[in-house]
Structure 1
Amino acid sequence: MTTPGTSRKARKCVLANQKGGVGKTVITVQLGHAAAAAGLRVLIVDADPQGNITRSLTQYNNAEPPPVSLADVLDRRAQIRVQDAILQTRREAISLLPSGFDELQAVQDALIGKPGSEHSITRALREVEAEFDFVFIDTRPATDLITRNALMAADKLVIVVQPEDWAVGGLQMTLSAVEDLKEYLDKDLEVAGWIINAVDGRRSDHKETIELLEGMSVEEGITILGEHIPAIADLSRLSAIGWGCDEHPKPTPRIRNMVTVFAKILQQLSDQVPVPLPAPAADGSDRVPEGVSA
Structure 2
Amino acid sequence: MATIIALTNQKGGVGKTTSSSALAAGLFSFYNKKVLAIDLDPQGSMGFSLGLDIENCSTIYDVLKGQVSIKDAIQDTDYCDIITSNILLSSAELEFTSSDRDILLKRALLPVIAEYDYIIIDTPPALNVLTVNAYAASDHLIIPMAPEILSLLGVSQLKDTIDSVRQSVNPNLNVLGILLTKYNPRTLLAREVKEMAENIASQIGACVFGAQIRTSVAVAEAPAHGLSIFDHAPHAKPSLDYQEFIREVVDMTSSDII
Aligned equivalent of 1:216: 200
Mind listing any 5+ residue stretches in structure 2 that lack a counterpart? none
Does residue 22 (structure 1) correspond to residue 14 (structure 2)? The answer is: yes
Match of 2:180 in 1: 196
TM-score, normalization by structure 1? 0.80
3-state DSSP class of the match of 1:67? coil
SS of 2:254's equivalent in the other structure is coil
CA deviations on 1:46-99 (whole Å, 9 max, x unpaired) are 001111112223112xxxx433111111113x2x110000001133xx000111
Which structure dedicates a bigger proportion of its chain to helix? Answer: 2
Preserved CA contact (<8 Å) 1:30 1:239: no
| Corresponding position: 1:13 with 2:29 | no
Cα distance in 2, alignment partners of residues 177 and 231 from structure 1: 30
The yes-or-no answer on 1:272 pairing with 2:258 is no
Name the % identity.
Answer: 26
CA separation of 1:129 and 1:241: change in aligned 2, threshold 3 A: farther
Find 1:52's aligned residue among 45, 54, 59: 45
Q: What SS does the corresponding residue of 1:195 show, helix, strand or coil? A: strand
1:97 is matched by which residue type in structure 2?
I
Cα pair 1:12 1:156 within 8 Å, conserved:
yes
- Deviation at residue 39 of structure 1 after TM alignment: 0.7
1:9-39 residue CA offsets vs partner (Å, 9 max, x unmatched): 1000000011111000010011111111111
- In structure 2, the residue matched to 1:118 is 102
State the superposition RMSD in angstroms.
2.1
Partner residue, 1:95: 81
Q: What residue in structure 1 maps to residue 240 of structure 2?
A: 257
Tell whether the 8 Å contact from 1:133 to 1:273 is kept in structure 2 after alignment.
no
Distance 1:219 1:147, change over 3 A: closer
Q: Which has the larger radius of gyration?
A: 1
The aligned amino acid for 1:75 is K
TM-score (norm 2): 0.90
SS of residue in 1 equivalent to 2:221: helix
SS of the residue 2:222 aligns to: helix
Which amino acid in structure 1 is aligned with residue 57 of structure 2?
P
Choose the corresponding residue for 2:35, options 42, 50, 55: 42
Change (3 A) 1:130 1:179: same
Number of positions where the alignment pairs a residue of Structure 1 with one of Structure 2: 255
CA contact (8 A) 1:225 1:268 kept: no
Alpha-carbon distance between aligned partners in 2 of 1:241 and 1:28, rounded to the nearest angstrom:
17
Show structure 1 runs of 5+ residues with no match: 1-8, 275-294
Give the Å deviation of 1:242: 4.2
- C-alpha change, 1:150 and 1:273, in structure 2 (3 Å) is closer
